[in-house]
């Protein structure tokens, strides 16, 4: 986890003159400001929803693990006066298994929602520019936040690099947003690995052998991962998590259907820690941007 702080605001002048005439720039800036406020508000919402879903996912994973361990230890449990009840152990294990299956489904749903959040973060990070729509000399000037509406006049959607509020250009805002994209994307890749581990628990060996990193966990998952830029067309599978020394031998990974409790505790702790998300850095990014825009978005 990086301990670096986000890039500081610079006071340097734009390197290139804006291709937009001054009369257009006077109208461009308020439109760009409105857009940035909207986009950063969406990013703040994504951040809050991510941590809420991460907490829910951890609860589902914890319950899943507990139900599995109860089944595993059932044969050796002392049942006391319940020992004389017919088929009590099998009936208890069946009920525990059904509850484990329910938590597995809920965990998968939490993961699916987290994929959606990362997809939204990616989309928002690419929607910070403000383009002039139509002719600058027309009677009615309109603005668009869609790069498809970029005109042939050389308008890059950044006002030529001028500050939108006080000091930060569109490019600076995009860099801050890209830092968020990188952190949440890395964490999603790790979460997916943990989901696969949790889904393997309690299955028979033949079923676990069919689980691979390239297994689609829910319908249209790979489509959703493409929207997150987390699907590799070359390997026809999701982008793997980053392992030690930057290496990721994902093909060598094997999922265990009977991991020991200590390993399961490590998985749960890793999940709740959001190890790839530097919360201090995230908070500082939102604080810097909020101060720049004179709004609170934390």
How do the pLDDT tens digits run along the chain, 298 residues long? 444 444 444 434 444 556 667 777 888 899 999 999 999 999 999 999 999 999 999 999 999 999 999 988 776 666 665 666 667 678 888 899 999 999 999 999 999 999 999 999 999 999 999 887 765 555 445 677 666 656 555 678 888 888 999 899 999 999 999 999 999 999 999 999 999 999 988 776 666 567 788 889 999 999 999 999 999 999 889 999 876 655 556 766 777 778 889 999 999 999 999 999 999 999 999 999 999 999 888 6
Residue 13 placed within a domain: no
Residue 38 placed within a domain: yes
Helices (H), 74-136: 88-125
How far from 13 is each of 32, 87, 160, CA to CA, in Å? 19, 79, 11
Q: pLDDT value at position 77? A: 63
Residue 26 placed within a domain: yes
Q: pLDDT value at position 257? A: 78
Strand-strand pairing, 231-232 and 142-144? unpaired
Residue 76 placed within a domain: yes
Q: pLDDT value at position 7? A: 47
Q: Residue 159 — left, alpha, or beta (φ > 0 → left; ψ -120 to 50 → alpha)?
A: left
Q: pLDDT value at position 27? A: 85
pTM of the predicted structure, to 2 decimals:
0.85
Q: pLDDT value at position 5? A: 46
Q: pLDDT value at position 152? A: 53
What is the full DSSP assignment across 214-280? T---STTHHHHHHHTT-EETTTTEEPPPP-GGG---GGG----SS--HHHHHHHHHHHHHTTT--HH
Q: pLDDT value at position 149? A: 58
Give residue 187's Cα distance to chain centre: 7
- Other C-beta atoms closer than 10 Å to the C-beta of 184 total 25
For 198, the enclosing helix (H) or strand (E) is helix 170-200
Q: pLDDT value at position 150? A: 60
Q: Which domain holds residue 87?
A: 22-293
Q: pLDDT value at position 269? A: 97
- Count: domains in the chain: 1
Residue 269 placed within a domain: yes
Token readout for 24 is: 């257009």
Residue 198 placed within a domain: yes
Residue 9 placed within a domain: no
Q: pLDDT value at position 252? A: 63
Residue 4 placed within a domain: no
Token readout for 253 is: 């990974």
């Amino acid at each position: 986890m990086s301990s670096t702080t986000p890039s500081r605001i610079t006071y340097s002048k734009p390197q290139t003159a804006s291709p937009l005439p001054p009369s257009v720039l006077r109208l461009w800036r308020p439109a760009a400001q409105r857009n940035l406020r909207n986009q950063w508000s969406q990013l703040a919402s994504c951040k809050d929803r991510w941590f809420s879903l991460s907490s829910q996912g951890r609860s589902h994973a914890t319950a899943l693990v507990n139900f599995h361990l109860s089944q595993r230890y059932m044969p050796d449990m002392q049942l006391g006066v319940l020992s004389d009840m017919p088929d009590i152990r099998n009936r208890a294990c069946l009920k525990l298994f059904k509850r484990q299956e329910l938590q597995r489904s809920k965990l998968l749903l939490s993961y699916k929602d987290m994929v959606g959040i990362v997809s939204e973060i990616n989309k928002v990070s690419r929607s910070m520019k403000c383009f002039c729509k139509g002719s600058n000399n027309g009677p009615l000037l309109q603005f668009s936040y869609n790069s498809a509406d970029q005109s042939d006049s050389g308008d890059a959607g950044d006002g030529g690099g001028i500050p939108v509020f006080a000091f930060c250009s569109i490019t600076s805002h995009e860099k801050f947003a890209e830092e968020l994209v990188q952190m949440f994307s890395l964490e999603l890749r790790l979460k997916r690995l943990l989901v696969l581990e949790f889904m393997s628990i309690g299955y028979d060996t033949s079923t676990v052998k069919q689980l691979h990193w390239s297994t689609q966990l829910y319908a249209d998952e790979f489509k959703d991962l493409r929207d997150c830029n987390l699907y590799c067309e070359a390997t026809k599978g999701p982008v793997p998590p980053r392992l030690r020394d930057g290496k990721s031998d994902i093909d060598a990974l094997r999922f265990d259907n009977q991991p020991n409790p200590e390993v399961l505790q490590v998985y749960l702790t890793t999940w709740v820690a959001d190890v790839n998300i530097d919360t201090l850095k995230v908070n500082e990014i939102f604080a810097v941007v909020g101060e720049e825009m004179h709004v609170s978005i934390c």
